[in-house]
Structure 1
Protein backbone atom coordinates (compact mmCIF):
# COMPACT_ATOMS: atom_id res chain seq x y z
CA UNK A 1 0.00 0.00 0.00
CA UNK A 2 2.84 2.38 0.85
CA UNK A 3 4.60 1.63 -2.41
CA UNK A 4 1.42 2.61 -4.24
CA UNK A 5 1.41 6.00 -2.51
CA UNK A 6 -1.33 5.36 0.03
CA UNK A 7 -0.85 7.77 2.99
CA UNK A 8 0.11 6.06 6.25
CA UNK A 9 -2.88 7.62 8.04
CA UNK A 10 -5.24 5.96 5.54
CA UNK A 11 -3.48 2.60 5.95
CA UNK A 12 -3.81 2.91 9.74
CA UNK A 13 -7.51 3.73 9.31
CA UNK A 14 -8.02 0.61 7.18
CA UNK A 15 -6.26 -1.60 9.75
CA UNK A 16 -8.31 -0.10 12.59
CA UNK A 17 -11.60 -0.56 10.75
CA UNK A 18 -10.83 -3.96 9.25
CA UNK A 19 -7.81 -5.70 10.87
CA UNK A 20 -8.39 -8.82 8.74
CA UNK A 21 -7.47 -6.82 5.64
CA UNK A 22 -3.75 -7.05 6.46
CA UNK A 23 -3.97 -10.78 7.11
CA UNK A 24 -4.94 -11.56 3.54
CA UNK A 25 -2.68 -13.28 1.05
CA UNK A 26 -0.21 -10.76 -0.43
CA UNK A 27 -1.12 -11.81 -3.98
CA UNK A 28 -4.78 -11.14 -3.26
CA UNK A 29 -3.96 -7.68 -1.88
CA UNK A 30 -1.83 -6.86 -4.92
CA UNK A 31 -4.74 -7.92 -7.13
CA UNK A 32 -7.16 -5.82 -5.05
CA UNK A 33 -4.94 -2.72 -5.34
CA UNK A 34 -4.62 -3.23 -9.11
CA UNK A 35 -8.40 -3.68 -9.52
CA UNK A 36 -9.17 -0.58 -7.46
CA UNK A 37 -6.69 1.55 -9.42
CA UNK A 38 -8.24 0.29 -12.69
CA UNK A 39 -11.66 1.33 -11.39
CA UNK A 40 -10.40 4.91 -11.18
CA UNK A 41 -9.87 5.32 -7.43
CA UNK A 42 -6.54 7.04 -6.76
CA UNK A 43 -4.25 5.74 -3.95
CA UNK A 44 -4.31 9.14 -2.20
CA UNK A 45 -8.15 9.21 -2.15
CA UNK A 46 -9.71 8.49 1.25
CA UNK A 47 -11.94 5.91 -0.44
CA UNK A 48 -8.94 3.91 -1.72
CA UNK A 49 -8.38 1.85 1.43
CA UNK A 50 -12.11 1.12 1.73
CA UNK A 51 -12.17 0.06 -1.92
CA UNK A 52 -9.12 -2.20 -1.48
CA UNK A 53 -10.71 -3.71 1.61
CA UNK A 54 -13.97 -4.31 -0.30
CA UNK A 55 -12.28 -5.90 -3.33
CA UNK A 56 -9.92 -7.89 -1.12
CA UNK A 57 -12.88 -9.40 0.73
CA UNK A 58 -14.01 -11.33 -2.36
CA UNK A 59 -12.40 -13.46 -5.03
CA UNK A 60 -12.12 -12.38 -8.66
CA UNK A 61 -15.13 -14.47 -9.68
CA UNK A 62 -17.39 -12.82 -7.06
CA UNK A 63 -16.19 -9.36 -8.11
CA UNK A 64 -17.03 -10.08 -11.76
CA UNK A 65 -20.46 -11.49 -10.82
CA UNK A 66 -21.31 -8.34 -8.88
CA UNK A 67 -20.20 -6.10 -11.73
CA UNK A 68 -22.40 -8.19 -14.05
CA UNK A 69 -25.40 -7.81 -11.70
CA UNK A 70 -24.94 -4.04 -11.89
CA UNK A 71 -24.71 -4.22 -15.67
CA UNK A 72 -27.91 -6.29 -15.76
CA UNK A 73 -29.60 -3.36 -13.99
CA UNK A 74 -28.78 -1.23 -17.01
CA UNK A 75 -25.65 0.51 -15.76
CA UNK A 76 -22.51 1.04 -17.81
CA UNK A 77 -19.12 0.10 -16.41
CA UNK A 78 -18.35 3.81 -16.01
CA UNK A 79 -21.51 4.31 -13.92
CA UNK A 80 -20.73 1.24 -11.79
CA UNK A 81 -17.25 2.55 -11.00
CA UNK A 82 -18.66 6.03 -10.28
CA UNK A 83 -20.91 4.42 -7.65
CA UNK A 84 -18.02 2.29 -6.38
CA UNK A 85 -15.79 5.37 -5.95
CA UNK A 86 -18.52 7.12 -3.97
CA UNK A 87 -19.18 4.17 -1.67
CA UNK A 88 -16.90 1.13 -2.19
CA UNK A 89 -18.91 -1.05 0.20
CA UNK A 90 -21.82 -1.05 -2.28
CA UNK A 91 -20.23 -4.06 -3.98
CA UNK A 92 -19.78 -6.05 -0.78
CA UNK A 93 -23.44 -7.00 -0.40
CA UNK A 94 -24.81 -10.17 -1.99
CA UNK A 95 -26.03 -10.29 -5.58
CA UNK A 96 -29.54 -11.04 -4.27
CA UNK A 97 -29.43 -7.96 -2.02
CA UNK A 98 -28.31 -5.80 -4.98
CA UNK A 99 -31.30 -7.00 -7.00
CA UNK A 100 -33.72 -6.51 -4.07
CA UNK A 101 -32.55 -2.94 -3.45
CA UNK A 102 -32.67 -2.08 -7.15
CA UNK A 103 -36.15 -3.64 -7.46
CA UNK A 104 -37.44 -1.59 -4.52
CA UNK A 105 -35.80 1.65 -5.69
CA UNK A 106 -36.89 1.37 -9.33
CA UNK A 107 -40.28 -0.33 -9.07
CA UNK A 108 -41.67 0.77 -5.68
CA UNK A 109 -40.00 4.10 -4.90
CA UNK A 110 -39.76 4.98 -8.63
CA UNK A 111 -36.23 6.34 -8.30
CA UNK A 112 -34.22 6.66 -11.49
CA UNK A 113 -30.98 4.67 -11.92
CA UNK A 114 -28.95 7.88 -11.66
CA UNK A 115 -30.15 8.38 -8.08
CA UNK A 116 -28.88 4.98 -7.07
CA UNK A 117 -25.51 5.77 -8.68
CA UNK A 118 -25.40 8.99 -6.64
CA UNK A 119 -26.43 7.16 -3.45
CA UNK A 120 -24.83 3.69 -3.70
CA UNK A 121 -25.02 3.46 0.10
CA UNK A 122 -28.64 2.35 -0.53
CA UNK A 123 -27.26 -1.08 -1.47
CA UNK A 124 -26.17 -1.54 2.12
CA UNK A 125 -29.50 -0.45 3.64
CA UNK A 126 -32.09 -3.06 4.53
CA UNK A 127 -35.13 -3.09 2.24
CA UNK A 128 -37.34 -4.66 4.93
CA UNK A 129 -36.05 -2.77 7.96
CA UNK A 130 -35.39 0.67 6.53
CA UNK A 131 -36.39 1.45 2.96
CA UNK A 132 -39.86 -0.14 2.78
CA UNK A 133 -41.04 0.96 6.28
CA UNK A 134 -40.01 4.55 5.62
CA UNK A 135 -41.67 4.51 2.23
CA UNK A 136 -44.91 3.24 3.83
CA UNK A 137 -44.82 6.13 6.31
CA UNK A 138 -44.42 8.59 3.45
CA UNK A 139 -47.34 7.06 1.56
CA UNK A 140 -49.58 7.29 4.64
CA UNK A 141 -48.56 10.91 5.25
CA UNK A 142 -49.35 11.75 1.63
CA UNK A 143 -52.81 10.16 1.89
CA UNK A 144 -53.48 12.28 4.99
CA UNK A 145 -52.10 15.42 3.27
CA UNK A 146 -49.42 15.80 5.93
CA UNK A 147 -46.54 16.16 3.46
CA UNK A 148 -46.04 19.79 2.54
CA UNK A 149 -43.61 19.13 -0.27
CA UNK A 150 -45.21 16.59 -2.62
CA UNK A 151 -41.87 16.17 -4.43
CA UNK A 152 -40.05 15.21 -1.25
CA UNK A 153 -36.48 14.01 -1.83
CA UNK A 154 -36.60 10.30 -1.09
CA UNK A 155 -32.83 10.20 -0.76
CA UNK A 156 -32.97 12.45 2.31
CA UNK A 157 -36.00 10.53 3.59
CA UNK A 158 -34.11 7.23 3.45
CA UNK A 159 -30.78 8.63 4.68
CA UNK A 160 -31.95 10.37 7.87
CA UNK A 161 -30.68 8.88 11.12
CA UNK A 162 -33.18 6.58 12.83
CA UNK A 163 -33.87 8.79 15.84
CA UNK A 164 -34.28 11.90 13.69
CA UNK A 165 -36.56 10.09 11.23
CA UNK A 166 -38.87 8.70 13.94
CA UNK A 167 -39.05 12.05 15.74
CA UNK A 168 -39.72 14.17 12.62
CA UNK A 169 -41.89 11.82 10.58
CA UNK A 170 -43.58 9.36 12.92
CA UNK A 171 -43.93 10.75 16.47
CA UNK A 172 -44.80 14.20 15.08
CA UNK A 173 -47.93 12.78 13.41
CA UNK A 174 -49.19 10.34 16.06
CA UNK A 175 -52.09 12.65 17.00
CA UNK A 176 -53.43 12.51 13.44
CA UNK A 177 -52.44 8.88 12.78
CA UNK A 178 -52.31 6.93 16.09
CA UNK A 179 -51.21 3.69 14.42
CA UNK A 180 -48.35 5.29 12.44
CA UNK A 181 -45.67 3.78 14.70
CA UNK A 182 -47.18 0.32 14.16
CA UNK A 183 -47.22 0.90 10.41
CA UNK A 184 -43.57 1.95 10.57
CA UNK A 185 -42.64 -1.11 12.62
CA UNK A 186 -44.44 -3.39 10.17
CA UNK A 187 -47.36 -4.44 12.38
CA UNK A 188 -49.52 -6.32 9.86
CA UNK A 189 -52.84 -5.53 11.54
CA UNK A 190 -52.13 -1.80 11.54
CA UNK A 191 -51.01 -1.84 7.95
CA UNK A 192 -54.35 -3.26 6.84
CA UNK A 193 -56.38 -0.66 8.79
CA UNK A 194 -57.69 2.23 6.80
CA UNK A 195 -55.67 5.40 7.25
CA UNK A 196 -58.28 7.60 5.60
Structure 2
Protein backbone atom coordinates (compact mmCIF):
# COMPACT_ATOMS: atom_id res chain seq x y z
CA UNK A 1 0.00 0.00 0.00
CA UNK A 2 2.84 2.36 0.86
CA UNK A 3 4.59 1.73 -2.45
CA UNK A 4 1.32 2.17 -4.32
CA UNK A 5 0.61 5.52 -2.65
CA UNK A 6 4.14 6.69 -3.43
CA UNK A 7 3.81 5.61 -7.09
CA UNK A 8 0.70 7.77 -7.28
CA UNK A 9 2.87 10.72 -6.30
CA UNK A 10 1.87 11.13 -2.66
CA UNK A 11 5.08 11.56 -0.63
CA UNK A 12 5.40 9.74 2.70
CA UNK A 13 5.85 12.97 4.61
CA UNK A 14 2.73 14.53 3.11
CA UNK A 15 -0.30 15.25 5.25
CA UNK A 16 -2.32 13.38 2.64
CA UNK A 17 -0.25 10.20 2.82
CA UNK A 18 -2.56 8.57 5.35
CA UNK A 19 -5.56 9.43 3.15
CA UNK A 20 -3.75 7.94 0.16
CA UNK A 21 -3.20 4.72 2.11
CA UNK A 22 -6.91 4.64 2.94
CA UNK A 23 -7.81 5.25 -0.69
CA UNK A 24 -5.65 2.44 -2.08
CA UNK A 25 -6.18 -0.02 0.77
CA UNK A 26 -8.92 -2.00 -0.94
CA UNK A 27 -8.07 -1.29 -4.58
CA UNK A 28 -5.96 -3.47 -6.84
CA UNK A 29 -3.27 -1.97 -9.05
CA UNK A 30 -5.56 -2.59 -12.04
CA UNK A 31 -8.48 -0.74 -10.45
CA UNK A 32 -6.24 2.19 -9.56
CA UNK A 33 -4.86 2.33 -13.10
CA UNK A 34 -8.39 2.18 -14.50
CA UNK A 35 -9.54 4.99 -12.19
CA UNK A 36 -6.54 7.14 -13.16
CA UNK A 37 -7.36 6.60 -16.85
CA UNK A 38 -11.00 7.41 -16.17
CA UNK A 39 -10.02 10.65 -14.41
CA UNK A 40 -7.80 11.61 -17.34
CA UNK A 41 -10.55 11.00 -19.87
CA UNK A 42 -13.48 12.39 -17.89
CA UNK A 43 -11.83 15.59 -16.67
CA UNK A 44 -9.48 15.94 -19.66
CA UNK A 45 -6.46 15.86 -17.33
CA UNK A 46 -2.88 15.00 -18.20
CA UNK A 47 -0.87 12.47 -16.19
CA UNK A 48 0.72 15.35 -14.29
CA UNK A 49 -2.68 16.86 -13.46
CA UNK A 50 -4.00 13.53 -12.17
CA UNK A 51 -0.92 13.30 -9.92
CA UNK A 52 -1.69 16.78 -8.58
CA UNK A 53 -5.28 15.78 -7.85
CA UNK A 54 -4.30 12.51 -6.17
CA UNK A 55 -1.66 14.29 -4.05
CA UNK A 56 -4.15 16.92 -2.91
CA UNK A 57 -7.22 14.68 -2.66
CA UNK A 58 -6.36 10.96 -2.74
CA UNK A 59 -9.91 9.96 -1.83
CA UNK A 60 -10.89 10.92 -5.39
CA UNK A 61 -9.82 7.36 -6.22
CA UNK A 62 -12.74 6.03 -4.15
CA UNK A 63 -15.46 8.05 -5.91
CA UNK A 64 -17.61 6.04 -8.31
CA UNK A 65 -17.25 6.55 -12.05
CA UNK A 66 -20.87 7.71 -12.34
CA UNK A 67 -20.35 10.32 -9.65
CA UNK A 68 -17.09 11.50 -11.23
CA UNK A 69 -18.86 11.83 -14.58
CA UNK A 70 -21.64 13.98 -13.06
CA UNK A 71 -19.07 16.15 -11.30
CA UNK A 72 -17.04 16.56 -14.47
CA UNK A 73 -20.10 17.53 -16.50
CA UNK A 74 -21.14 20.04 -13.87
CA UNK A 75 -17.75 21.64 -13.26
CA UNK A 76 -16.50 21.70 -16.85
CA UNK A 77 -19.71 22.18 -18.81
CA UNK A 78 -22.17 23.96 -16.54
CA UNK A 79 -19.80 26.03 -14.39
CA UNK A 80 -17.27 26.44 -17.19
CA UNK A 81 -14.14 25.70 -15.19
CA UNK A 82 -11.01 24.68 -17.08
CA UNK A 83 -9.65 21.16 -16.48
CA UNK A 84 -6.31 22.52 -15.20
CA UNK A 85 -8.12 24.84 -12.77
CA UNK A 86 -10.10 21.92 -11.34
CA UNK A 87 -6.96 19.78 -11.10
CA UNK A 88 -5.22 22.37 -8.94
CA UNK A 89 -8.33 22.84 -6.79
CA UNK A 90 -9.90 19.37 -6.49
CA UNK A 91 -12.03 20.19 -3.44
CA UNK A 92 -15.12 20.65 -5.61
CA UNK A 93 -14.60 17.16 -7.07
CA UNK A 94 -14.48 15.56 -3.62
CA UNK A 95 -17.38 17.27 -1.88
CA UNK A 96 -20.99 16.26 -2.38
CA UNK A 97 -22.18 17.58 -5.73
CA UNK A 98 -25.88 17.44 -4.89
CA UNK A 99 -25.63 18.37 -1.21
CA UNK A 100 -23.05 21.15 -1.31
CA UNK A 101 -21.36 22.15 -4.57
CA UNK A 102 -24.37 22.56 -6.85
CA UNK A 103 -26.66 24.29 -4.28
CA UNK A 104 -23.96 26.80 -3.38
CA UNK A 105 -23.19 27.44 -7.04
CA UNK A 106 -26.88 28.12 -7.63
CA UNK A 107 -27.04 30.57 -4.71
CA UNK A 108 -24.05 32.54 -6.02
CA UNK A 109 -25.42 32.50 -9.55
CA UNK A 110 -28.84 33.68 -8.33
CA UNK A 111 -27.26 36.49 -6.31
CA UNK A 112 -25.11 37.61 -9.27
CA UNK A 113 -28.01 37.56 -11.72
CA UNK A 114 -30.10 39.65 -9.37
CA UNK A 115 -27.35 42.18 -8.70
CA UNK A 116 -27.11 41.25 -5.03
CA UNK A 117 -23.37 40.50 -4.91
CA UNK A 118 -20.72 43.18 -4.75
CA UNK A 119 -17.89 40.68 -5.09
CA UNK A 120 -17.42 37.69 -7.35
CA UNK A 121 -16.56 34.70 -5.13
CA UNK A 122 -15.18 31.68 -6.92
CA UNK A 123 -16.78 28.29 -6.47
CA UNK A 124 -13.85 26.82 -4.56
CA UNK A 125 -14.00 29.56 -1.96
CA UNK A 126 -17.74 29.12 -1.61
CA UNK A 127 -17.68 25.33 -1.21
CA UNK A 128 -14.88 25.48 1.36
CA UNK A 129 -16.90 27.70 3.68
CA UNK A 130 -18.55 26.04 6.64
CA UNK A 131 -22.33 25.95 6.45
CA UNK A 132 -22.57 28.62 9.13
CA UNK A 133 -20.19 31.00 7.33
CA UNK A 134 -21.88 30.39 3.98
CA UNK A 135 -25.29 31.27 5.40
CA UNK A 136 -23.93 34.31 7.27
CA UNK A 137 -22.10 35.71 4.25
CA UNK A 138 -24.29 34.79 1.30
CA UNK A 139 -27.83 34.09 2.47
CA UNK A 140 -28.60 36.10 5.61
CA UNK A 141 -27.59 39.51 4.19
CA UNK A 142 -30.21 39.10 1.46
CA UNK A 143 -33.24 38.18 3.60
CA UNK A 144 -35.14 41.27 2.54
CA UNK A 145 -34.16 41.35 -1.14
CA UNK A 146 -34.57 37.59 -1.61
CA UNK A 147 -36.75 36.22 1.22
CA UNK A 148 -37.06 32.81 -0.47
CA UNK A 149 -33.30 32.30 -0.79
CA UNK A 150 -32.79 30.32 2.44
CA UNK A 151 -35.68 28.02 1.62
CA UNK A 152 -34.52 27.58 -1.99
CA UNK A 153 -31.02 26.75 -0.78
CA UNK A 154 -32.37 24.17 1.67
CA UNK A 155 -34.44 22.64 -1.13
CA UNK A 156 -31.42 22.54 -3.44
CA UNK A 157 -29.39 20.78 -0.72
CA UNK A 158 -32.00 18.00 -0.80
CA UNK A 159 -31.29 17.43 -4.50
CA UNK A 160 -34.22 19.38 -5.92
CA UNK A 161 -33.88 22.45 -8.12
CA UNK A 162 -36.16 25.28 -6.99
CA UNK A 163 -37.83 27.44 -9.64
CA UNK A 164 -35.65 30.42 -8.70
CA UNK A 165 -32.54 28.36 -9.42
CA UNK A 166 -33.55 27.35 -12.96
CA UNK A 167 -31.42 29.46 -15.24
Task: Map 1:34-113 onto structure 2 (within 5 A).
Answer: 34-72=3-41, 73-113=43-83
Q: Is the 8 A contact 2:11 2:17 kept in 1?
A: yes
> Residue 130 in 1 paired to residue 84 in 2?
no
Using CA pairs under 8 Å that are at least 6 residues apart, name the structure with larger relative contact order, 1 or 2. Answer: 2
Q: Whole-Å Cα distance in 2 between the matches of residues 168 and 123 of structure 1?
A: 23
**Would the alpha carbon gap of residues 190 and 181 (structure 1) be closer, same or farther in structure 2, given more than 3 Å must change?**
farther
Q: 1:117 aligns with which of 41, 65, 87?
A: 87
Distance 1:95 1:143, change over 3 A: same
- Structure 2, gaps ≥5 residues long: none
Q: CA RMSD in A?
A: 2.3
Structure 2 distance, partners of 1:176, 1:182, is 14
Give the Cα separation in 2 of the matches to 1:52 and 1:101: 24
Distance 1:124 1:93 in 2: 8
Distance 1:161-1:194 versus aligned 2 partners, 3 A rule: closer
1:89–1:124 contact (8 Å) kept in structure 2: yes
Measured against aligned partners, the alpha-carbon deviations of 1:3-61 in whole angstroms (never above 9, x if no partner) come to xxxxxxxxxxxxxxxxxxxxxxxxxxxxx222222222222222222212211132233
List alignment gaps of at least 5 residues for structure 1: 1-31
Rounded Cα–Cα distance in structure 1 between residues aligned with 2:39 and 2:161? 36
CA distance in structure 2 between the partners assigned to 1:76 and 1:100 by the alignment? 19
TM-score normalised by length of structure 1: 0.75
